[in-house]
Amino acid sequence: MSDASRTLPLEGLKVLELGQLIAGPFATKLLGEFGADVIKIEPPGTGDPLRKWRILEEGTSLWWHVQSRNKRSVALDLRSPEGQALVRQLASEADVVVENFRPGTLDGWNLGWKTLSTLNPGLIMVHVSGYGQTGPYRDKPGFGVIGEAMGGLRYLTGHPGEPSVRVGVSIGDSLSALYAVIGTLLALQERHKSGLGQEIDVALHESVFAMMESLLPEFDATGQIREPGGSALPGITPSNAYRCEGDEYVLIAGNGDSIFKRLMGVIGRPDLAEDPALAHNDGRSRQARMIDDAIEAWTRTRPRDAILKTLDDARVPAGYPYTAKDIASDPHYIAREMIQTFTRESGEPLKVPGVLPKLSATPGRLGNGGPRLGQHTEDVLDELGIDQDTRAKLRAAGII
């Protein structure tokens, strides 16, 4: 079945995106991949700053074609009363509004929850911000990297005694987007019962903090502050990066009890496999350095690919750090359709990530790349019934 003829689970859902850059737009991107009609409001003339982030081709960020696919772009000045009136009209017909402005910004434009929910009681409004809609920090500006730091992740990344490093992608924004989508789907389910919408409040730092596993209860119960572990996963042994022949690395996760025994057999250390003190993770973690040294004594003398073949045969989880080149040519990525290609307006093909999650009956769509700025303004104004004279005045004033 072609993408165009598929039934999509969110068909008929109208989503209005107010915001820019990463967290909010990533959430609407996910909704759009499963059939939602996403109308993205952008400032006339400049558009979303993401259009100019990282590597550009044909004047547009290559990232744009991932972040904004399946959206309709409307160029509209949110700071003008006329633009705000049009947004209120759009929101009155929408199912979901997703916004990631600083808390209070939309209220100042008469586009806040009280205003929009009065116009549309069934509306679901998703707020994504640095610190949430309440609390003493609500008015502070917040980006993903700050959320990652406050959420506890930044302190743990890097090697002991060295400055912390950031994850190489905007993980705080992306995690927040996932929570925003989960909240949206939960609110839609509840609306089936009550007929009413609600607000969803997602904070970047909380989205990261929620991923921090036992960080807080360990501190509360024992007073211990988890420290950075470099390439290892402290307290879970063995799970680390090990140097191979030729200064390459393999990642080995031998922390399951039976897996550990198989791994020790492979590296020629049956004594460690049968040591009762190392039978379970707590005992192994107390001797993590000794175990890691034993494993690396074996990996150092072997090429990476040979190590991976041996460990695969022994059913020991192992891999190596993939680059973009590795991903693009990997047969498993290709077989699972996670490397997709679409054709840009110039006719040039572009590889982009596939759609997740994978649904058996109603899978998502790749669709088109990111729209041109204002590409769908006229279509959306048609749907709102805005006459041509009014449009001409809005255009002359720079509002559309």
173 classed as catalytic: yes
- Closest of 49, 26, 29 to residue 38, by C-alpha: 29
Report how far residue 65's alpha carbon sits from residue 59's, in angstroms, rounded to the nearest whole number: 12
Strands 96-99 and 124-129: parallel
The structure tokens listed for 108 are: 């100042």
- In this structure, the number of other CB atoms found within 10 A of the CB of residue 177 comes to 27
For residues 316, 208, 116, 396, the Cα torsion angle rounded to the nearest 10 degrees is: -90
Residue tagged active-site, from 48, 173, 201, 292 = 173
Q: Tell me the residue type at 329.
A: S
SS (H, E, C) the chain: CCHHHCCCCCCCCEEEEECCCCHHHHHHHHHHHCCCEEEEEECCCCCCHHHHCCCEECCEECCHHHHCCCEEEEECCCCCHHHHHHHHHHHHCCCEEEECCCCCHHHHCCCCHHHHHHHCCCCEEEEEECCCCCCCCCCCCCCHHHHHHHCCHHHHCCCCCCCCCCCCCCHHHHHHHHHHHHHHHHHHHHHHHHCCCCEEEEEHHHHHHCCCCCHHHHHHHHCCCCCCCCCCCCCCCCEEEEECCCCCEEEEECCCHHHHHHHHHHCCCHHHHCCHHHCCHHHHHHCHHHHHHHHHHHHCCCCHHHHHHHHHHCCCCEECCCCHHHHHHCHHHHHCCCEEEEECCCCCEEEEECCCCCCCCCCCCCCCCCCCCCCCHHHHHHHHCCCHHHHHHHHHCCCC
Give residue 128's Cα distance to chain centre.
13
Q: Which residues are catalytic?
A: 173
